[in-house]
Amino acid sequence: MKVLVVGSGGREHAVVDALAQSSRISKIFAAPGNGGIAEQAELVAISADDIERLASFAREQRVDLTFVGPEVPLSKGIVDVFIGHGMPVIGPTADQARLESSKSFAKRFFETNQIPTAAFSECSTPAKAYHVLERSKYPVVIKADGLAAGKGVVIAQRPDEARDAIKLLMEAKSLGEAGAKLVIEEFLAGEEASFHVFADGATFQPMVAAQDHKRRFDGDSGPNTGGMGAYSIDTILSIAQHDAVVNRIIRPTLQAARSYSGILYAGLMLTSDGPKLLEYNARFGDPETQVILFRLKTDLLDVFTDIVEHRLAARQLEWRNEAAATVVLVAREYPGRVESGKEITGLNEAKRIEGVKVYHAGTRSEGGRIYTNGGRVLNVTARGATLAQALEKAYFVAQMIEFDGKDYRRDIGKKGLAK
Ligand code: AMP
Ligand code: GLY
């Protein structure tokens, strides 16, 4: 089979790497891919949101199956276009992807379907937003309605901070149209967890749980980022929490969002009152995918084929009874502006370490060398019998790899060790 993977991050590298293990793969294309993906796939110089060119490419190359990583092409309707051309594709339609692309749509959906979530108000004008703040408890959570690449959420501790956030988002339009509408919601306390399922339009199969680390610095301090690391162990959710997520959150969602197909990722808060849904994403999480797929024993291409053929109900997913952890190596200034083009060394040595994969995110390859190309550079991912062993290996390899300005969090998985 010929497969096209759309995207260029560590998530897409993990997907390409998993597909490359399949005996049924004859060719993988990645658009636009990165320096690591280039070792397992042919890179295609089309950007991930150039839907028409991606569709033409897939048709000309007779691609059998396309997988879409990022949210932007999904929200712009890449799946609708591929389906329109009769080409098999993994992902929800633009309409279904509104569960991620519009927070107000998503919150109303949760409310209608009685899915446990934070209490909220929807605000389309600054006046309404300031009014809602007057009767809010603090901290309060303010969210831009549209896609904002992780920058759309403000947790305000005090009224003045909350008012500043509204001024910035709605009046100064700091995120453009994404902030034209806001959701103001109740702050939920607890541990976060990422829960993913594969869905084929009729049924779903849960994946193992993971936990992301969104803040830039140790101890969950500093600005939010696209993710500084993740781990996956079975004890992230208790059996009761797992059942509550499946029965009270995922099942009612997929019953209401009829025919939802692809990956659904629930961002959860494990509150003292049971798991509550913070948000949905209509795609795989990054860097959660890196640890989840590193535990998947089942052939990922078989799962993807089940999805497009609506045969997921008969599939028994098999997972390694091990822990996985990933440490994101970033450029020091990330998430601020970074300088790219630094040569990366130590990657070949890292390849020789058993139970470790270094997924590339912001890299490019040139003349047989690999250079940094963005703020999030590499995802050093390791498996171990215990989380402590997986982390030890990941950190060992994180030290072997060098590039100018390399930085990473030292406390990935620390909360999981306590479990
Ligand atoms: P989101 O962009 O919706 O994933 O939100 C980003 C982060 O904000 C989440 O990962 C949480 O850490 C935090 N967050 C969002 N909503 C809430 C809430 N209602 N209560 C507490 N924290 C929240
Ligand atoms: N890991 C957070 C995200 O992918 O949105």
Tell me the CA–centroid distance for residue 154 and ligand 1, in Å.
8
Compute the distance from residue 287 Cα to the ligand 2 centre, in Å: 7
Residue 374 CA, ligand 2 centroid: distance in Å: 17
Ligand minimally distant from the alpha carbon of residue 142: 1
| Confidence at residue 147, expressed as pLDDT on a 0 to 100 scale | 80
Residue 189's pLDDT is 95
Q: Distance (Å, rounded) from C-alpha 146 to C-alpha 152?
A: 8
Return the ligand number nearest the Cα of 210.
2
Number of continuous H segments (helices) and E segments (strands) in the chain: 15, 24
Spell out which residues line ligand 2, taking CB within 6 angstroms.
Answer: 212, 227, 281, 285-286, 288
Task: Please name the residue whose Cα sits nearest to atom 5 of ligand 1.
Answer: 153
Residue owning the nearest CA to atom 7 of ligand 1? 153
Q: Which residue pairs from 209-217 have beta carbons closer than 8 angstroms and sit at least 24 positions apart in sequence? A: 209/234, 209/236, 209/237, 209/242, 210/236, 210/285, 210/288, 210/291, 210/292, 211/236, 211/415, 211/416, 212/285, 212/287, 212/288, 213/409, 213/411, 213/412, 214/150, 216/334, 216/335, 216/409, 217/409
Q: Nearest C-alpha to atom 5 of ligand 2 is from which residue?
A: 285
Ligand 2 atom closest to the Cα of residue 281 is: 5
Q: Split the chain (419 residues) into runs of 10 and give each run's mean pLDDT.
A: 98 98 97 97 98 98 98 97 98 96 91 96 88 91 83 88 88 78 93 97 97 96 93 97 98 94 98 96 98 98 98 97 98 95 98 97 95 97 98 98 98 92
Which pLDDT value is given to residue 174? 79
Q: Closest Cα to atom 19, ligand 1: which residue?
A: 187
Q: Please state the atom number of ligand 1 nearest to the C-alpha of residue 187.
A: 20
β-pairing verdict for 191-200 and 140-144: unpaired
Pocket of ligand 1 (CB under 6 A): 118, 141, 150, 152-153, 155, 185-188, 192, 214, 267, 278-279
Query: From the CA of 138, how far away is ligand 1's center (Å)?
Result: 14
State in Å: Cα 39 to ligand 1 middle. Answer: 36
Residue 265 alpha carbon to ligand 2 centre in Å: 9
Ligand nearest the Cα of residue 9 is 2
pTM of the model: 0.95
Q: Which atom of ligand 1 is least distant from the CA of 143? A: 3
Which pLDDT does position 353 carry in this prediction?
A: 96
Query: What is the Å distance from ligand 1's center to 265 Cα?
Result: 14
Long-range contacts formed by 360-364: CB under 8 A, 24+ apart: 360/10, 360/13, 360/34, 360/35, 360/36, 360/37, 361/9, 361/10, 361/13, 361/34, 361/286, 361/328, 362/9, 362/34, 362/331, 363/34, 363/35, 363/36, 364/34, 364/35
Predicted local confidence at residue 169, as pLDDT = 85
Q: How far is the CA of 258 from the centre of ligand 1 (A)?
A: 26
Question: Domains of the chain by range and CATH?
Answer: 2-93 (3.40.50.20), 119-186 (3.30.1490.20), 191-418 (3.30.470.20)
